[in-house]
Amino acid sequence: MAKTTIFHITYYDYDKSVYIQFLTCNFSCLGCIRRGYLWDHHYGNEGSLLGKSRVELLEVEKLGEILKIVERELGLQRAVLGGGEPTADPLFCKVVEILSGMNLEAVVLTNGYLLDKVVNCIPKGSIVEVSVKSIHPQKFAMYTGRSADDLYRVLRNLMLVASKGLRLITETILIPGFNNAGDIELLAKYIAEHVNVDTPLIIDEYVPVPKTSWRRPTIEELNEARQRAEKHLKNVIVRSSYTMKPKGNVYLVFPKQII
Ligand code: SF4
């Protein structure tokens, strides 16, 4: 049996979705939330009980079996792929095929770098949320551990996704003192000029992780970033702990199945 890099699956009852997490990533972002905590943080403190010793990789054949049990017992409508980097998994296209075979809406959360390699296996109508860490090549390189040139591949892939009948969402993080409101405005301008003004942009709040000195932005700083991005794009969303409340219940599916 072929192993994926999937190590964690959680179920959200409010929208009947699973969040499928991949262990590995081709970036090494300074602000990656997984530097502090490996498991789905929406799953709460129980995740810490899992510990690193519980990490095991799921065989691709087992993914379909597990999802069919979830569908039968709880109902299942969508699958969110994240992590980690889903597109860095050599079995990514097989995983997407399994979701497609079950008529699940697929949402791919990605750093965008490998999208040109896998875009043709993502079903039309799927949501692809591409995170652009910074519009400045040097900041991008410093934050991600990649080269400055790699930013251009990510940006080219935004246009590629939009041209393939996929639902592109862009995302970035407001990091005071690093990726500021002015940087986010430049990113919004780039998206408006090179993709289109209707492309959604999500501005996430930076959550401090170990070994970085950046702080969490205030709600005023988030609102300023939104207002500046809205000069260029029609659909700008702030995703932050100030405004978002947990929805419904979250259950562990893998490594320990709930049923
Ligand atoms: S691309 Fe995402 S998962 Fe990968 S290191 Fe960066 S923040 Fe973490």
134, 157, 170, 172, 205 from 226: Cα distances, Å: 16, 24, 13, 11, 11
State the residue range of the domain holding 107. 6-249
164 domain residue, yes or no: yes
Residue 220, pLDDT > 60, answer: yes
Instruction: Looking at the CA of residue 83, tell me the nearest atom of ligand 1.
Output: 3
257 domain residue, yes or no: no
Gap from CA of 32 to ligand 1 centroid (Å): 5
258 domain residue, yes or no: no
8 Å CB contact between 7 and 51: no
Lowest mean pLDDT among 52-61, 65-74, 91-100: 52-61
Gap from CA of 72 to ligand 1 centroid (Å): 32
Domain CATH for 119 = 3.20.20.70
Count the domains in the chain.
Answer: 1
Average confidence (pLDDT) over 70-81 = 97
* Predicted confidence (pLDDT) per residue in 13-44, tens digit: 999 999 999 999 999 999 999 887 888 888 76
256 domain residue, yes or no: no
Average confidence (pLDDT) over 243-250 = 88
Q: For a ligand 1 pocket test, name from 111, 115, 151, 202 the mutation site with the most ligand atoms within 8 angstroms of its C-beta.
A: 111
Rounded CA separation 5/257 (Å): 17
Instruction: Looking at the CA of residue 28, tell me the nearest atom of ligand 1.
Output: 5
150 domain residue, yes or no: yes
Per-residue pLDDT band for 1 (boundaries 50, 70, 90) equals: confident
81 domain residue, yes or no: yes
Q: What is the DSSP string of 93-122?
A: HHHHHHHHHTTPEEEEEE-STTHHHHGGGS
Ligand 1 binding pocket (C-beta < 6 A) is 25, 27-29, 32, 34, 83-85, 111
74 domain residue, yes or no: yes
Gap from CA of 37 to ligand 1 centroid (Å): 13
* Predicted confidence (pLDDT) per residue in 161-214, tens digit: 999 999 999 999 999 999 999 999 999 999 999 999 999 999 999 999 988 999
Gap from CA of 28 to ligand 1 centroid (Å): 6
254 domain residue, yes or no: no
* Predicted confidence (pLDDT) per residue in 117-175, tens digit: 999 999 999 999 999 999 999 999 999 999 999 999 999 999 999 999 999 999 999 99
What pLDDT score was predicted for residue 211?
86
What pLDDT score was predicted for residue 259?
45
Q: For a ligand 1 pocket test, name from 23, 38, 85 the mutation site with the most ligand atoms within 8 angstroms of its C-beta.
A: 85
